[in-house]
Amino acid sequence: MKKAKKSSFSGEFTCQELNASILTYSIADFKKLKAKAELKKWSKELNDNASSYPLFDGSPFDDDGLSLPTSIDEEPDSDMIYVVPYYYYQEAQYQIENVSPTSEVKLAPILGILCPEKPMDFIESDGEQLWFEGLGSSDGTDYSVSFFRGAELIGNMTLEEVNDKSLKEIQSQL
């Protein structure tokens, strides 16, 4: 028996959370990167500048909940390389108010396409931006990094696995 769809949502919810940064390179620049220097840069970026996003999949807004439509304001450029250092929280608590059945989920720029779980940036409802308020989270996963050419995944590994050999393997695919 299928669950009845909710008509609106206000309050707290729990879902997974993505913490990530995006670094963008031209193909030529990416081929010149050296692992040791970049690993420090990627780790620093993740620790100092990462953004946190609740995931659409498993949230009250996905197809099992309100079934809200999604859109994205910035898509990946097929001529660019995206390096995405990231980690997940298996459970994160959020609060949001006044989400109506006519609202639209705005996915995180670029990441909303690259990440299949669809990280959410905010919800737009009647022309108003509704922001997620983080309330807490569980332990995080290992720090990892994914490599994309445009929207195509070309490699993924933990940050601990990044070395000259592993980076050259990714670079050789370009």
Enclosing domain of residue 77: 9-171
CA 86 to chain centre: 8
- Count of other CB atoms within 10 angstroms of residue 7: 8
> What pLDDT, on the 0 to 100 scale, is given for residue 4?
45
The DSSP code for 115 is S
Nearest partner of 50 among 4, 91, 88, judged by Cα: 88
- In a domain, residue 3? The reply is no
Distance (Å, rounded) from C-alpha 168 to C-alpha 152?
18
- In a domain, residue 4? The reply is no
**Sign of torsion over alpha carbons 18, 24, 27, 33:** negative
- In a domain, residue 131? The reply is yes
> What pLDDT, on the 0 to 100 scale, is given for residue 159?
95
Nearest partner of 28 among 165, 149, 161, judged by Cα: 149
> What pLDDT, on the 0 to 100 scale, is given for residue 2?
43
> What are the tokens at 111?
């990441």
- In a domain, residue 94? The reply is yes
> What pLDDT, on the 0 to 100 scale, is given for residue 115?
95
Nearest partner of 99 among 6, 35, 164, 173, judged by Cα: 6
- In a domain, residue 62? The reply is yes
The DSSP code for 161 is G
- In a domain, residue 154? The reply is yes
Percentage helix, strand, coil for the chain under 3-state DSSP, each rounded to 5: 20, 45, 35
- In a domain, residue 138? The reply is yes
- In a domain, residue 1? The reply is no
> What pLDDT, on the 0 to 100 scale, is given for residue 6?
55
> What pLDDT, on the 0 to 100 scale, is given for residue 1?
40
Q: What is the mean pLDDT of each run of 10 residues along the chain (174 residues)?
A: 62 95 97 94 94 95 92 95 96 94 95 96 94 92 96 96 96 93
Number of compact structural domains in the chain: 1
